[in-house]
Structure 1
């Protein structure tokens, strides 16, 4: 989250005096939970039953069997004072309990000022206890204000109480000009080498990573910048296959109904980066790389971002993030705190890249809930002795676990075919979990993880893990895969796959070796989605202009710029220090009528913005225009020393006489590129406009959708401006409008 969207200091001070930690409710089945594997659905926002806003969410499955979700220090509901961070929990991702605040006046960090915001908590399980990283917007360590830092706290339970350390894990960082970098938005990671890593950063300083000590509390080694300063924040890293994936958010988190936040990803074979997109472009380059994970799609949700991720019992990935309802974007009055509830959506891995709902974007209709039930009967959080017929004990997290002394077998015979087992284990002796001839062995003594499929055996090294560890064993006809992690947050310490020649037959699940057992699930593996949803495709040409004979009669000016010329089929537009954003607008526009119904407008744009130098905010591109205070524009732009393509929106803020502007990032810019805006209407008659870009005129990348009001007939056109120094000219050619069958999303 950006600093300029911080909560008011007075509100935070009042919250400190009024807020006290709320004790966790007793563990047990949630009201209305439907056991036995029957499908349960949910509808976003996932947090709507207990909160109006739940921003910057992170999640972890506690060793007590609950999923915990944490959020930043906003008021939980409209009209309330801010809580100092929030905790909620669920068994099934449908029904929720609110647990309470993270901090209060008694346990908040001693080095945070009384007016500081405490933001973006991220929780990990390290060394047998829970470790929370969080941002502090103002510390007592420096006389100047806004010296942001990352704090760390520990607890024996994911519900707390949390005990912060007496100093930051990442101290405030000077920008060398009398101010401070945005040292916010932390997220941890356990690497495949067992090493702990910490990511943090934002616009103004960029995203960084450093190794931290084995207990997660102290940085070690040299930090590395992995995300561009004017492009990324809210980093979150997962491991999938042989790669680490950095997912980070871009653009405006908090501009009310003009919010254009979106999530992008890059990948690397090292947690330290560099993280590259599908074109091999770094997320730290001037013309910044990044593969789109999720952007707004034209339904009610806008500004999806600041994500976390989890995996359900079937092995399906899910993205947890916040977004805004464009029709209800303010928590209080227009221009005040943004209402950013928590959303949950399926995350698919297509061609090696994570995308939400196969590229369809945020869901606003009922969705199948994550799988949390087990084929063993009962519920995973039931005492393991119920499944395995062993001694029941109380584990360190206060839940009921099972104790295996040598061998335990499930009372229920499992069906044959593909299966996925997930189980929490605790002990220092080797343990084997098997279903028939498929087995996984965790050997902490020799530091090995071994998996036996029906066609062979494979072994890999296993870093030391303290406390509970999660083992997953997935068996299919083609392979058997075992994975061990501390927290099951898509950062396994070890993964190994062996071949299988046939599916396993029916039989019990067996555990051998002295260990504690808890949170045992067996489920059918999720069927992966391997194809992305369709994107807008152009059809026949409805109108075109190659500018071969000057500016045709179909075009008209808003604020004519007399030095715009046409030569050799190119429209040449010298940049001036003008802008469309802000009340009224000063930049020139060249517009034409757009057809009714569905269409795609396309133009080729040439604008050399250089690289790695500050040239804010020179830009050129296309605009969909109702008025000076109601438009969407798509342009290649210089933001500081970063080059990108922004798709911005200006509209009324809801406050009398005030407008707001926000942007969504589409992707990487280039000196020559092609732009498209695809247009359709929804059932309410609203005007949906989706942005697409290409650097070669053939391969297209589609981004966010902005919605203009029903009953309007926006014009389509061109613009350029943002600054006259250094002198540069944008050129346009091959403008065309084409038919399309693209329709509004139904998700």
Structure 2
């Protein structure tokens, strides 16, 4: 329980309500935040998980890699600690070199941890890459360990939580666990990856055993790295898509779907299921043309002001590998704001990853008490005492420990509490929020509302209360990780003040720690600007094939007919060294522009038709291009935005995912020249109806490049299928 950093402040402040500007000064420290935030202790820290410990520190856990270039030794789930979520210090590994689970094969790696606080102990879930009981090298399983503190000591369970799942001669990706507790107290585990899809299974109340049969919630060959939160009554499944680890062409991104049940079905913003062959996914985080690519595998948390944030890994495209090229991908940890706009989560309102920002999480408030000292700054202390780093009321009736500082305005207050008596909670003016065995209750004057609290209250819980105007919203959870176990909202009657005196309330014995009050965050409600077409400056409606087109390896089968360019999909490709496919190109206008096409490609559904595709291309050469196409990837149909370029004597290829295709799909590439670097940036967009657009990631070309734009139709000729392009139109960028 950490030092009360501003105990002395209570002695000097007056008792008038805190003004908004003063709250901002007290709760929002300045200074530029530079990504990656893991730079002080690690060059790579992939798949980060995060939790705030009962000691007041924030802890992050990474996948098993060497932390520094040249180190050479893997850390088994390294742990870092921070007071402000910006400056981190390495504090050790969860497991030593000889400390593998008893069911793990020698040499196994431990990947992708997820950390929770469940019923009085810390529980860590992780991937075990090789299970001794199965004969395959990559027979993944999900492990679980428990500890009394965030740094351990960790105790392995004797058997996998989720055992390897055979699929023919191979094994499904039983990887990337994420735990979630619902409002009814039921616990769930989400897991899975590209081979086999994403699944959810119910857990026993202790979180250490699987109950019943798992349910598939997202299609295979598209998602991994799942994370689930509950927000405004919906369950949001956020997952990473495309490839995590392709060095300079890594196109990893985060997509989302939502449901009214933790078991799904999860649908994206346009109603497209995540479990369909043409799988949906609303963009949450995408690369934006700065140095960060491959943005994904994240964790979420809420700061003391109520603002949500995302920790995730990314790759510096100028330094993509930890040591030698094509070795371990260097994936440091980044931090950015997570907004909720029109019911959907999105990083920085859609602006994507930051390199530098003046925004930082609020991790200390104008009330900020960890009870490591005495009760300076508090009054009415009779019956209260500091004990082992927290304050407790010994019992014997009802008592309020009152802060010397009164509160006013829109606020978020919170505390960790453990109930051993009748009830405990917070007082705000003449309103109160209390936790008891009967549930969570918000009262203001004669008005009162209550919600059941599963699991009782005899363990440490987090109680967070927001006051906005006269509306009081209270949540009880375990660790600020988007899974509140009880939520109550009450509009206080007029004449009942919800500002003024602030304190801790106990009816009988109770314990409190990490008490804070901060100015309520101001939500961002408008998306960052997205590309919009301006004036039409060039087009081919395919009455004929106009003279502006130029072929690379002309395909005589491609012909204009009935107002469309009909191009039988070729048995060839551009990726790799084969370079057999034709490319139809034209020279774009100078400056910023948007090129658009409408392409019909009937790839069916569910069957394997690798890798038939058609769409747009930005082309410098056969080994330096970005293509945006609807494509068959095993059983799925996706809009992939792929990039190939030469790097360190080899060709590197990776993809980014941009929406879900229909049989007829509209595609756009929005080009701009970065005024600072001169680089050519191409952002990809897709639409299923030509009206509603999904915008994805950005691929870049060097300042000296002269990319042309055009069309492709390749990836395999069996079964035969035609790509019908209705037009190509070029608009002025806006």
Instruction: Please classify the TM superposition score into its range, dividing by the shorter chain length.
Output: over 0.9
Cα deviation digits, residues 662-710 of structure 1 (max 9, x gap): 0000010111111110000111100000001111111111110101111
Which of residues 263, 266, 270 is equivalent to 2:254? Answer: 263
2: CA distance, partners of 1:276 / 1:404: 50
2: CA distance, partners of 1:434 / 1:98: 38
2: CA distance, partners of 1:455 / 1:595: 69
Shift of 1:128: 0.6
Query: Please, which moves more after superposition, 311-320 or 110-119?
Result: 110-119
Which of residues 99, 112, 133 is equivalent to 1:141? Answer: 133
Q: Provide closer, same or farther for how the CA distance between residues 701 and 133 of structure 1 changes in structure 2, counting only shifts above 3 A.
A: same
Which of residues 311, 320, 329 is equivalent to 2:311? Answer: 320
2: CA distance, partners of 1:622 / 1:304: 23
1:161-176 equivalent positions in 2, closer than 5 A:
161-175=153-167
Report what 1:712 is aligned to: 705
Query: Please, which moves more after superposition, 335-344 or 505-514?
Result: 505-514
1:583 aligns with 2:601: no
Shift of 1:584: 5.2
Cα deviation digits, residues 370-402 of structure 1 (max 9, x gap): 0011222x554745844545544445xxx4444
2: CA distance, partners of 1:384 / 1:715: 70
1:200–1:208 contact (8 Å) kept in structure 2: yes
SS at match of 1:347: strand
1:554 aligns with 2:548: yes
Structure 2, unaligned runs of 5 or more: 6-23
Report what 1:40 is aligned to: 30
Structure-2-length-normalised TM-score: 0.93
2: CA distance, partners of 1:350 / 1:648: 28
SS at match of 1:257: helix
Q: Provide closer, same or farther for how the CA distance between residues 534 and 382 of structure 1 changes in structure 2, counting only shifts above 3 A.
A: farther
SS at match of 1:602: strand
2: CA distance, partners of 1:169 / 1:314: 36
Cα deviation digits, residues 215-250 of structure 1 (max 9, x gap): 111000110000111110000001111011000000
SS at match of 2:248: helix
1:602–1:735 contact (8 Å) kept in structure 2: yes
Report what 1:295 is aligned to: 286
Report what 1:217 is aligned to: 208
1:138-287 equivalent positions in 2, closer than 5 A:
138-175=130-167, 177-287=168-278
2: CA distance, partners of 1:121 / 1:163: 15
Q: Provide closer, same or farther for how the CA distance between residues 200 and 92 of structure 1 changes in structure 2, counting only shifts above 3 A.
A: same
Shift of 1:187: 0.6
2:28–2:360 contact (8 Å) kept in structure 1: no
1:740 aligns with 2:720: no
Which of residues 110, 123, 135 is equivalent to 1:118? Answer: 110
Which of residues 620, 624, 630 is equivalent to 2:614? Answer: 620
Report what 2:518 is aligned to: 523
Q: Provide closer, same or farther for how the CA distance between residues 400 and 431 of structure 1 changes in structure 2, counting only shifts above 3 A.
A: closer
Which of residues 402, 418, 439 is equivalent to 2:410? Answer: 418
Shift of 1:107: 2.8
Structure-1-length-normalised TM-score: 0.91
Shift of 1:336: 1.0
1:453–1:480 contact (8 Å) kept in structure 2: no
2: CA distance, partners of 1:408 / 1:480: 20
Report what 1:430 is aligned to: 423
1:383-462 equivalent positions in 2, closer than 5 A:
385-388=375-378, 390=381, 391-394=384-387, 399-403=389-393, 405=395, 406-428=398-420, 429-444=422-437, 446=438, 448-453=439-444, 456-462=447-453
Residues matched between the structures, number: 703
Report what 1:744 is aligned to: none
1:493-512 equivalent positions in 2, closer than 5 A:
493-500=485-492, 504-512=498-506
CA RMSD of aligned residues (A): 1.8
1:130 aligns with 2:128: no
Shift of 1:578: 0.8
Report what 1:82 is aligned to: 74
Shift of 1:403: 3.7
Cα deviation digits, residues 26-61 of structure 1 (max 9, x gap): 96699xxx9943423422111111110110001011
2: CA distance, partners of 1:108 / 1:27: 32
1:53-132 equivalent positions in 2, closer than 5 A:
53-80=44-71, 81-132=73-124
1:609-648 equivalent positions in 2, closer than 5 A:
609-648=603-642
Q: Provide closer, same or farther for how the CA distance between residues 212 and 111 of structure 1 changes in structure 2, counting only shifts above 3 A.
A: same
Report what 1:23 is aligned to: none
Report what 2:334 is aligned to: 343
1: CA distance, partners of 2:689 / 2:621: 32
1: CA distance, partners of 2:560 / 2:446: 69
1:52–1:77 contact (8 Å) kept in structure 2: yes
Q: Provide closer, same or farther for how the CA distance between residues 541 and 381 of structure 1 changes in structure 2, counting only shifts above 3 A.
A: farther
Report what 2:9 is aligned to: none
